[in-house]
Structure 1
Amino acid sequence: MALRREFKPALLAAAPLAGALLVMAAGAMLIASGATPSSPERFMRLSLALPSPVIEISHFASSVLGLVLVMLAFGLRARLDAAWAASIAVLFLTAILSLSKGLIWEEGLILAAIGTFLAPLRAAFPRKAALSQMEVSPGWLLSAGAAVAGAGLLGLWFFRHVSYEDQPFWSTMVDGDVARSIRAWAGAALAFLGFGVWRLVATAATPRVIGEDDPDFERVRAILAASESAEPLSNLALFGDKRFLFSESGRSFMMFGVRGRSWIALGGPVGQRDERLELLWRFREMADAHAARPGLYGIGPDDLQDVVELGFSIQKIGECARLPIQDFAFEGQTRAKIRRAWRQVRDGGAEFEVIPPGGIDAILPELAAISEEWLARQSGGDKSFALGGFNPSYLREFPVAVARWEGRIVAFANLWPTASRDAFSIDLMRYNWAAPKRIMDFLFVELIGWGREQGYAYLDFGNAPLAGLEDRPLAPVMTRVGRLMFDLGEDVYNFQGVRSYKDKFHPNWEPRYAAAPAKWAIAVLLADVSLLSSGGFAGLTRRPKKSEVPAPKKAEPPVEPLVAEALAARDPAPRTA
């Protein structure tokens, strides 16, 4: 008994992988068995005991169930309790079918032995997700496809002496080994096709979205207001489109979005530093329990140690510009252009003001008009998830910086504060055609002074996507592809323009990363972030119609093209043009 207690944890730990390999091998064996000839002597004895339809149905069902076992093997690897129960049932059923299809008792014994091995290992499969929520990786689908294709080739080799090439397919559907082989292989192939199509539309179960009318939304506000560890980006928690995982103390949270089977946390945990690692583990475990694919987007260097603890793969996705503002000065040649632009707009009559959250309602109609005009000139429309959008209830949560020209608001930006006063940032930055040239340069300079007065250490300019990636021979493939896009993708997105515009303020550049359990999953994660932020494929591909774009009120454009493009794209997730 003592020996059993010592070895039980090791056996339970090894059971998911061992069971998956055994069940997958059993499934491949059944598919191959269905594609190969039966033993004539055994088949003759069986035909005397069972009706022919029973034999044919058993042969066909055995091959289809072989593919089912190959698929269930992934569920065993993922520790799904439903996959464990289904695998045992299918194994014992196919053990019986092995006898009724051709008295293949060796095959039946192997299947029954695997089922007997799995039966007492229920504790090794604790996940409660249903089979309909099971994620199947591309590699596993490829393995199943290879098993089906291999069985077909095996059948062709065994029956190479049979001349059926010039016959219609249905003419082979008569009793005989050739017919049984073709039926079994075709059934497995059609089952595999159906499974693949189903996985395209099936999604994992998801927690509910917490909106502004939910009692938990007030918990989010309270955590942000007292957070020890929060980036300005954490304020997107108040947009009303996120799901949340709270710490046991209720003093920290993680926010995430869901697309298909992807659960994507935006940034790291928010709240207390000593609760960060525990929240990350709980997020991964909760996604695992729902058979979902977890990922982290937009994390910084401070998060990496904890993310490595999770066993995640990490990929750099760009850099974030953070400008120290307490000692910021415009003197010297390095910031001469910014200084001249600010003075030109200020001396022309521009006025700057930061409106507190309580005063937003009074200016909302003006802001809405500016936003509508600005959006009419942009591709993709308004954003969400990793980007802020024009939502009145969301704007009421924050101070809003406005620039007035001739007494009217012509540009605005809502501000993301942090409780620690380490950094603040700008979310929406929108202006209309009545704005003078370089109005956003003016707004940035004024915000530097405002932030200094408020006691902030940094102004966060947001991310420059794909910036800072190295094209070296030994660099990861995704890094080299990202660098190639940065160098050659200006027609798709103004990567270099964004980096160049922010760099003229001479900020400090910090790397930003994405992370997922597997390297291949990071590419899926980034695609899902773009779709979540853009509202799906329709939003991602939307282009402004010429009739929607208002004609300029001045002979020359109001903002430099580089500034306009850079500011339109300054948010953490790329806006694809």
Structure 2
Amino acid sequence: MVAPLRVCDLVWGRRRQLLALAVLVIAILAFEAIRGILAEVRYHEIREVIASMEIWRLALACFLTAGSYLALTFYDWAALRAIGRDLPWRTAAIASFTSYTLSYNLGFALLTGGAARLRAYGAAGLDFADVARITVITSMAFWSGLAAVASVALLFAGTSVPIASLHIGPVTQHLLGASLLVGLISALVLRGRGVAELRIGGNAIPLPPVRLLSAQIVVSVMDLACASAALYILLPGAPPALFGTFLLAYALAIIAGFISHVPGGLGVFEATILALVPLGHAELFAALLLYRIIYYLLPLGIAGAILVALEGHRLRKRMQVGLGVAARIGQVLAPPLLSMLVFAGGLVLLVSGALPPLHGRIAVLRDVVPLPFIEASHFAASLAGTALLLVAPAIQARLKSGFHVARALLLIGALFSLFKGIDFEEAGVLLAVAGLLQYSRPAFYRRSGIGSAPVESWWWAAAMIALALSAWAGFFAYKHIPYSGDLWWDFAWRGDAPRFLRATLGATMFVAGWAFWRILSVAPATSEPSELPAEVAVAALASTQRTDSMLAFTGDKSFLISAAGDAFLMYRVQGRTWITMGDPVGSAAAWPELIWEFRRRCDAARGRLCLYEVSADMLPLIVELGLQPMKYGEEALVDLTQGYALQGSQYKSLRHSTNKAAAAGLVFDVIRAEEVLAHEGPLRRVSGAWLAGKAGPEKGFSLGRFDMGYLSRFDCAILRLEDEIVAFANIWETPNREEMSIDLMRHLPGTPYGAMDLLFVRLLQLAAARGFHRFNLGMAPLSGLQGGTLAPIWSRLGAAVYGHGERLYGFSGLRAFKSKFAPRWIPRYVGISPGVSVPAAIVDLAHVVGG
């Protein structure tokens, strides 16, 4: 059984790459199916159909597309009300429009659309659990509407439907339609009888009331009716009686495209329609091409323009105090949409280079420029398009280098489009994307090389599908020309096929070379601790607001340093998990640079990302990284701006315990940092006795260890009993007097009652006397987590451990001890790569923290 298990582990470990490969194979098979269906159709026939398309048909298709996307916004609006979140319609509209635009063009609807919703609604104040519920509810609404449309089409079917070698007759279709309709009605009846939620994997998804659920199904039907009619209206020869058959084919094409996960269902959707709709293939394929532009690419451009306008306005209004919801959504969704537009620009250049130009325009160029200039422009335009496909991830990562390269490529591509065939339409598209990119220029602030942008497996699959599409388009356009080796060396004014062959070879070699370079430049995982340069430590700690920055001196961490040397990030690699400790230290302006560079290195090593014990200030970056945010616990902060005195009834028990400890002879004192080494013997004796009473090894990473080199960096608070040290704690202080805290706190067994209370009270009074603004009492892990049925599973599990795991750690006892000092509780978070890797990342985290 060893070998099969190893094979299974290997397959599971490479699941993303295998899924991307499967998607690529499905896309190629779909292109091959289209080639077979269009065997008798010539390229010029399709061009003639497109040229003769009436303007009113195009305008009506655009109007129906707008109606479909308007209906989509009500999916989210209804889902928000189903989960009890009363956000305005305009917020739901922006989030819905952008998420559906991305998912329709990229495929992987739950991943791409869900990530877009997470970013948009996260900017509007919703958490991960709320967004997950919205995604599930909107998906249910869409599929319910699709089932309703399919059931009606099946019930009124009058002809057989061919699927491969099978022919489904009208009677079978009627039975299937009746079954679908009965299922929908049963769902409404169950909801009306009190079934208020759907449980998936232990998570409760609230179902909308019957009235709202019925409205969602109606909205879904309207959406699909408008979307299908937008395609049907582009078929000049289609009789109205054929719409029922066409509607069923459209529903099946949507399902096939969704299941295939091919970006936008490209090829799969077209192959299904061509196979099932009994119309002329030239007219049908021309309509599908126009529909792809109107329903997919046009909304992508509009969504990109809207969000770039919002983001550009935000970046040019830096002095405004607060951002509206629309501006915040634009901030998080503009980069993904811009990257998609850059990718689309590259695709336009590639496909254009594969198709023959208009010979009337070539004749004009023939009188102006020499043939080698045309040949070079055509080849360079295809290479520029290929480069845009590969640069797009750097745009999503907000890299300044990616911005400069993409802008240059778009401008160069527009210029070569004019020189290779006066393709001013193509040049206009590229210049529009370049304009949007330029308007949002301040958004690209990360100072990393263009190759540092993480490239997911699905992005490689999308680039390969784009190459396959351009190659398919060229072979289809020139299928009447017999292949010959001489074509490669044929340079002529009408040598369109040779130009296509050379451009395709160049683009393929470009992608292969880029992939080879990426493989060779993969950064190895760094697991050994590194040294933090003294000058960086001084510069970063000078502006830090948090004492846990002092964990940089424990000697068990590696460091990532900002380009300016004014900030750093400390981390550790355990197995495949890359774990940061707290927020980055130093200038807040350098945080995104550090986090994204850390993300790149982790991705290059194929690791799992884990941001441990980060503050709420890091939540926007967690969402931007696509991580799953989870509340880890709460931190106790005591305000010292008014000093610290044990006055009032709330301090009655604390006054009693500290008085008892003082009466027992305990005396508080502070050993200066330069004198700590002289007290090594007594401190080591206290630490050894304290560790002897604890189970397991000494912890690390988020705590210091007993190491005199580390301890001698700080002042040390001690308690003496008859001149003997019986307890100590090393003192952390921020240079700007913002916060004081302690790290190690250890005492001898049998110390008098109230010793630790006395130690903390004296430390609080010392911090107030030294002018510190607050004292950090440290974490209470898993405290403050919600355990209700609607809470995320992590929150419910943590709440259960907190409530019933006292023997394991003493969770509630630790919070109770710190609550005696009347602190303010602040949440701390963990951000982990979502999916099945979460448990493995938590295990690695436990190894690091537990020593």
Coarse TM-score class (shorter-chain normalised): 0.5 to 0.7
> Quick one: distance in 1 between partners of 2:516 and 2:659?
65
User: Would the alpha carbon gap of residues 524 and 117 (structure 1) be closer, same or farther in structure 2, given more than 3 Å must change?
Assistant: farther
Q: How do residues 132-531 of structure 1 correspond to structure 2 at under 5 angstroms?
A: 205-206=525-526, 208-211=528-531, 216-226=532-542, 228-327=543-642, 328-433=644-749, 435-531=751-847
* Distance in 1 of aligned mates of 2:573 and 2:821: 36
Task: State the distance in 2 between where 1:342 and 1:126 align.
Answer: 67
Cα distance in 2 between the residues matched to 1:315 and 1:509: 17
Q: Quick one: distance in 1 between partners of 2:766 and 2:538?
A: 24
The one-letter amino acid of 1:273's match is A
- Size of the aligned set, in residue pairs, is 373
Rounded to whole Å, the distance in 2 between the matches of 1:529 and 1:299 is 14
What are the superposed Cα offsets for residues 13-59 of structure 1, whole Å, 9 maximum, x if unpaired?
7999xxxxxxxxxxxxxxxxxxxxxxxxxxxxxxxxxxxxxxxxxxx
Q: Is the 8 A contact 2:541 2:585 kept in 1?
A: no
Is the 8 Å Cα contact of residues 515 and 522 (structure 1) preserved in structure 2? no
- The one-letter code matched in structure 1 to 2:557 is K
Q: Name the CA shift for 1:522/1:324 in 2 (closer, same or farther; >3 Å).
A: farther
Contact 2:632 2:829 in 1 (8 A): yes
5 Å-filtered alignment, 1:36-75, equals none
Distance 1:351 1:291 in 2: 54
> In the alignment, residue 532 of structure 1 is paired with which amino acid?
V
Give the Cα–Cα distance (whole angstroms) in 2 for the partners of residues 130 and 404 of structure 1.
60
| Matched-pair contact (CA < 8 Å) for 1:321–1:508 | yes
> C-alpha root-mean-square deviation of aligned residues, in Å?
3.2
Deviation, structure 1 residue 80: 9.2
- Following superposition, the deviation at residue 305 of structure 1 comes to 2.2
1:46-89, Cα deviation, whole Å (9 max, x unpaired): xxxxxxxxxxxxxxxxxxxxxxxxxxxxx9718899xx9xxxxx
TM-score by length of 1: 0.59
Does the C-alpha gap of structure 1 residues 220 and 353 become closer, same or farther in structure 2, counting only changes over 3 Å?
A: farther
1:208 CA drift (Å): 4.0
Counterpart among 434, 452, 457 of residue 77 in structure 1: 457
Contact 2:540-2:587 within 8 A present in 1 as well: no
* Bigger mean CA offset, 120-129 vs 518-527: 120-129
Structure 1: state its 5+ residue gaps: 17-74, 85-113, 135-203, 536-577
**Deviation (angstroms), 1:437:** 1.5
Write the deviation string for residues 388-428 of structure 1: whole angstroms up to 9, x where unpaired. 11011010111110011111110000111112222111111
The one-letter code sitting in structure 2 at the alignment partner of 1:122 is A
Give the partner amino acid of 2:685: A
Distance 1:350 1:126, change over 3 A: farther
Change (3 A) 1:8 1:370: same
Q: Give the superposition deviation at 1:318.
A: 0.6
2:540–2:566 CA contact under 8 A, matched in 1: no
Question: Do the aligned partners of residues 259 and 525 (structure 1) sit closer, same or farther apart at CA in structure 2, a change above 3 Å counting?
Answer: same
Give the whole-Å Cα distance in 1 for the aligned partners of 2:654 and 2:703.
26
SS of equivalent to 1:294: strand
Which structure has greater helix proportion?
A: 2
Contact 1:15 1:121 in 2 (8 A): no
Alignment match, 1:122 = 512
Say if 2:368 is the partner of 1:12. no
Measure the CA separation in 1 of the matches of 2:813 and 2:736. 31
- Cα distance in 2 for partners of 1:346, 1:246 equals 46
Query: Which of 1 and 2 has higher RCO (CA within 8 Å, sep 6+)?
Result: 1
DSSP-derived class of the 2:553 partner:
helix
1:549: which partner in 2?
none
Percent identity over the alignment?
33
2:792 partner letter: P
Rounded to whole Å, the distance in 2 between the matches of 1:521 and 1:6 is 37
Q: Which residue does 1:109 correspond to in 2? A: none
Which letter maps to 1:366? P
Distance 1:404 1:115 in 2: 80
SS at match of 1:307: helix
Q: Which moved more, 1:294-303 or 1:432-441?
A: 432-441
Following superposition, the deviation at residue 294 of structure 1 comes to 2.2
| Residues 379 and 297 of structure 1: CA distance in aligned 2, closer, same or farther (over 3 Å) | same
Please tell me whether Structure 1 or Structure 2 has the larger radius of gyration of its CA atoms.
2
Asked if the contact 2:637/2:825 (under 8 Å) is kept, the reply is yes
Separation in 2, partners of 1:115, 1:337: 81
How many Å separate the matches in 1 of 2:459 and 2:529? 27
Q: Answer whether contact 1:322 1:508 (CA < 8 A) is retained.
A: yes
CA gap 1:348/1:280 in 2 versus in 1, 3 angstroms: same
SS at match of 2:586: coil
Corresponding residue number in structure 1 for 2:169: none
Find the residue that maps to 2:801 and give its secondary structure. helix
Amino acid at match of 2:529: V
Alignment of 1:18-37 (within 5 A): none
Output the amino acid matched with 2:724. Answer: R
Q: Distance in 2 between matches of 1:288 and 1:357?
A: 41
Cα distance in 1 for partners of 2:658, 2:601 equals 50
Aligned-partner SS, 2:585: coil
1:506-555 CA-partner distances (Å, limit 9, x unpaired): 210000101123254444333222211233xxxxxxxxxxxxxxxxxxxx
Matches within 5 A, 1:88-103: none
Kept in 1: contact 2:526–2:573 (CA 8 A): yes
Q: Kindly state the Cα deviation for residue 119 of structure 1 after the two structures are TM-superposed.
A: 5.1
